Amino acid sequence: MLTKEELLSHFDQEFGDSSQKTHVFFAPGRVNLIGEHTDYNQGYVMPFAINNGTYLLIRPNSMKRFRFKSLNLSEKRTVLATDNFENHKNGWWKYPLGIINEFKSLGFQLPPSDFLFYGTIPDSAGLSSSASVEMVTATGINYLVNAGQSALELVSLAKRCENNFIGLNCGIMDMFAIGMGRSGDALQINCDTLHFDYIPVKLDGFQWVVCDTKKQRLLSESKYNERVEECQKALNILNQRVPARHLSAISLDQLLDNRDLFLNEEILFNRALHIISENQRVFEMALALKDKDINKIGQLMTESHESLQFKYEVSGLHLDTMVQEAIQLKGVRGARMTGAGFGGCAILLAEIKEVDSVIFKLGQLYSEKTGLSPAFYKVEPSDGSVAFIEHQAR
């Protein structure tokens, strides 16, 4: 973990001295407690921002170029400010470029600048490192060009970047959690209206732990877009009888009453069943958290995982092994995969007095079964990306 002074010194080493000010910004990553794959079905989600994230240092230059460097990745990139950004989508710099592009289309032109990123979110783990890069860039540019966009407007801008520039048909959950997170709380978000409530999720005597399977999320983008399409097909089938704009506007009874429409379309029925039941679990989770009903919290996590495993089919051997081994251990009260799936992370709730032993034993059991060395992070619900740190006169 580098200090701000160390980051500033890396910046100067990389881009040289300048009389211009260097500005420092931060955006967290996120983990989702429950409500998986529901966001692009305009349903309910319950993520929280975590205490790992992305730092960004920006300084205008006089070179007519944007220069991008990350301390986490070796490859860096220079892009002429007048270039077509579409020709520069072949590396991680596509995320800041997409955000610069979105501001441009709003009429805010960022002057040519140098960017240094430093991330403390494990890469490709499903903790939204790319949404964190997008949101920290959006926060920085908003400040530098004085665009006056609200946190919620920045969330929508980052989603447009992901959907239109990057080409992933994701929902709004990741940027929302990163932009609007609040220490101690998760957000219960209605992804249709964008109405949200803060839900306290710090439970006395318990610890949330993210379990990184270290299984690469192969094909995750194409599989993700496939699920988005399947949900649309399931909706089209139901629309023959049920007028609804999206799957989340359909009740479980309506789905079950119209099961006959899904003759030979068992898979599409299962996708819809997951979405509709998962929305319900988000509501039940909010109540269980309010009542501090640990057994119910655990039960909902298990049900969510099973639905993702068997009905939505986005889990896999590694995530299933992690969850199944976890819930057998003394002190673990619930576990489920989190994020898009196809590898990546699970989240568990453990009693604080047992948490270190849980991490140790689960690491051993998981390694024995899969041959991979997992990583564990004790995560805390944290503040969102509006955390602009300060700028330094150099």
Closest separation between CB of residue 392 and ligand GLA, Å?
Answer: 33
Q: Per CB under 6 A, does 171 bind ligand GLA?
A: yes
Contact 112, 81 (CB under 8 A): yes
Q: Per CB under 6 A, does 339 bind ligand GLA?
A: yes
Exposure string of 176-186, with b = 16+ CB inside 10 Å and e = fewer, is: bbbbbbbeebb
The piece of 29-37, 113-121, 238-246, 260-268 that touches ligand GLA (CB under 6 A) is 29-37
Task: Give the active site residues.
Answer: 174
Q: Per CB under 6 A, does 40 bind ligand GLA?
A: yes
Contact 185, 199 (CB under 8 A): yes
What is the DSSP secondary-structure string of 48-88? Answer: EEEEEEEEEEEEE-SSSEEEEEESS-S--EEEETTS-GGGG
The CA distances from residue 152 to 26, 74, 162, 176, 383, in Å, are 17, 33, 16, 7, 14
Restricting to residues 258-287, name those near ligand GLA by CB under 6 A.
none
The CA distances from residue 337 to 86, 373, 385, in Å, are 34, 17, 25
The CA distances from residue 380 to 139, 235, 264, in Å, are 22, 37, 45
The piece of 19-27, 76-84, 171-179, 369-377 that touches ligand GLA (CB under 6 A) is 171-179
What token pair was written down for 222? 């194409």
Q: Per CB under 6 A, does 174 bind ligand GLA?
A: yes
Residue 192 or residue 354: which is nearer to ligand GLA going by CB? 192
Among 125, 170, 199, 323, the residue binding ligand GLA under the rule CB under 6 A is 170
Closest separation between CB of residue 126 and ligand GLA, Å?
Answer: 6
10 Å CB burial of residue 392 (0-12, 13-18, 19+) is middle
Contact 347, 33 (CB under 8 A): yes
Q: Per CB under 6 A, does 298 bind ligand GLA?
A: no
Residue 119 or residue 331: which is nearer to ligand GLA going by CB? 119
Closest separation between CB of residue 49 and ligand GLA, Å?
Answer: 14
Closest separation between CB of residue 130 and ligand GLA, Å?
Answer: 8
Closest separation between CB of residue 319 and ligand GLA, Å?
Answer: 13
Query: Which residues in this chain contact ligand GLA in the complex, by CB under 6 A?
Result: 32, 36-37, 39-40, 170-171, 173-174, 339-340
